[in-house]
Amino acid sequence: MDRTYAFIDGNYLEKRYEERMSAFFNDAGDLDYNELRQSGCIPDLKRAYYYNSINDHLREGETEAARTARVDRLNARFDEIDQIPEFHGQRGSVLQHPESPGP
Nearest to 52 by CA among 3, 100, 8: 8
Buried b (16+ CB within 10 A) or exposed e, 21-41: eeeeeeebeeeebeebbeeee
> How far apart (Å, rounded) are the C-alpha atoms in residues 37 and 47?
10
Please report, to the nearest 10 degrees, the dihedral formed by the alpha carbons of residues 35, 37, 41, 45 taken in order.
180
- Tell me the pTM: 0.74
Whether residue 74 lies inside any domain: the answer is: yes
- The pLDDT of residue 84 is 92
> How far apart (Å, rounded) are the C-alpha atoms in residues 99 and 103?
12
Nearest to 28 by CA among 39, 15, 41, 38: 15
Whether residue 59 lies inside any domain: the answer is: yes
The total number of structural domains in the chain stands at 1
Digitized pLDDT (tens) for each residue of the chain, 103 residues in all: 578 899 999 999 999 999 999 988 888 778 888 888 888 777 788 899 999 999 899 989 999 999 999 999 999 999 999 999 899 999 888 876 555 344 4
Question: 32 lies in which domain range?
Answer: 4-93
Whether residue 83 lies inside any domain: the answer is: yes
Whether residue 26 lies inside any domain: the answer is: yes
Percent of the chain with pLDDT over 70: 91
